Amino acid sequence: MPNRHSCRRPIAAAAAVPFVLATCLLSLTGCGDDPVVESYEVDRTAPPRQPIDVAAERARLDHMFAAILVPPDAKQAWFFKLVAPGDQAAELRDAVESFLQSVQLDNGKPAWDAPDNWQEQAGDANRFATLLVPVGDGEPLELTVSQLPYSEPRGAYISANVNRWQRQLGEPALGPVQIEKLGETVATAAGDATLFELVGTMQANPMASPHGAMAGASGATPPAQPAPTQPAQSGELKFDTPDGWQQGRLNSMRVAAFDITGDGGAAEVTVMPFPNTPGMRDVTGNLQRWAGEVQLTGLSAEELKALAVERTIAGSSAMYAEFLGPDGDQPLATLAAMLPRGERIWFFKLKGDRPLVESQREKFGAFLDSVKFE
């Protein structure tokens, strides 16, 4: 029992403490003045963030409509691409899709039905065709049709090209799942095409507007630009430009281009990097394509490989070949080099009228010898 009483006393004392405190507080507040609430203004440390107008942002950016068509059992893929300002994209979206739906193959080459006001131009060594698409009162846009070697698997091939376009738009690479969600299947008579609409800021081209027709597309001959006399740089690529080579037409695929004219006709030098895929590494396929450009047909794989020799470019082993077209009214020739380097394969090519190309052989060799990567 004494132990129980000794335990109760501390509890009673502890319970009394809140009561005493409450009484004191009530006595203090009960007799004082009413509480006063004061308000005052201070400068905001940061303005409120305005909601993003998604439509306005998309209109401000460039829109790239790009499609890949891989015919059944084909070794080549067909590419269709048009870049438009965002405020013109909406009116072109349906037209581009309708154009793709009309594509069919005729002896392995694409044919299509284009709107009457689209002007078709003949292709060159890098494009199968170019269609000038009028929009508003400005310069027409270019829809380009080109061909590249194809390699399986299809998903990896498409991803490599989509991310190449992403780089052109200044945007980060996308993963396979994102790419699959972005792609739209468009049925054509030649097989299913995969169409993408990518958005970004097309990397500025000092030689031509990314939205307008390239130099010379309207039919006018642009004034020749002097070639740089110092080592030129294009991204990680550096080189020396031979005398007499004039700056040529650049586009999203060409990192360097030169025009050459003389008594022997005209020729063009181009430098283009591509993803290092099995299709692009196919030596025989590239040799066959270059031979076809100068009307050298019917060569066997062994005959084509016999034309290729090994040479050194930028300290690495490269493949080099010359194709001299058959005699005729205007014989053609191509000198080409293929340099695998990391994730890219670089193609260096001199193509044009045979007499002029042959006269430029030494300068083209010096150009290849000057190539560096930094």
In 3D space, the residue among 190, 192, 248, 213 whose CA is nearest the CA of residue 143 turns out to be 213
- Running DSSP on this structure, what letter comes out for residue 208? B
For every residue of 282-340, DSSP letters joined together read -HHHHHHHHHHHTT--S--HHHHHHTEEEEEETTEEEEEEEEEPPSSSS-EEEEEEEEE
CB-based contact 273:231 (threshold 8 Å): no
State the Cα–Cα distance between residues 294 and 267, nearest whole angstrom: 13
Instruction: State the pTM of this model.
Output: 0.47
pLDDT at 220: 32
pLDDT at 34: 60
CB-based contact 372:239 (threshold 8 Å): yes
The CATH number corresponding to 232-373 among 3.40.1000.10, 1.10.150.240, 3.20.20.140, 3.40.190.10 equals 3.40.1000.10
Beta bridge partners of 220: none
Q: Which amino acid is at 320?
A: Y
- Running DSSP on this structure, what letter comes out for residue 169? T
For residue 155, count other CB atoms closer than 10 A to its CB: 12
Tokens, residue 74: 């084909």
pLDDT at 49: 55
Regarding beta strands 265-275 and 256-262, do their DSSP bridges make them parallel or antiparallel, or are they unpaired? antiparallel
Per-residue pLDDT of the chain (374 residues; tens, 9 = 90+): 444 444 444 444 444 444 444 444 444 445 555 666 666 665 655 555 555 444 455 556 889 999 999 988 778 899 999 999 888 888 888 889 989 999 998 888 899 988 878 888 877 777 899 999 988 777 889 999 999 988 888 899 999 999 999 888 888 888 888 999 899 999 888 889 999 999 888 764 433 333 333 333 333 333 344 444 333 444 478 999 999 999 987 766 778 999 999 887 899 999 988 878 777 788 888 888 888 888 888 888 899 989 999 999 999 999 999 999 888 778 899 999 999 998 888 999 999 999 999 999 999 999 999 999 98
Domain layout of the chain by residue ranges: 56-200, 232-373
State the Cα–Cα distance between residues 6 and 284, nearest whole angstrom: 104
State the Cα–Cα distance between residues 322 and 123, nearest whole angstrom: 22
State the Cα–Cα distance between residues 309 and 321, nearest whole angstrom: 6
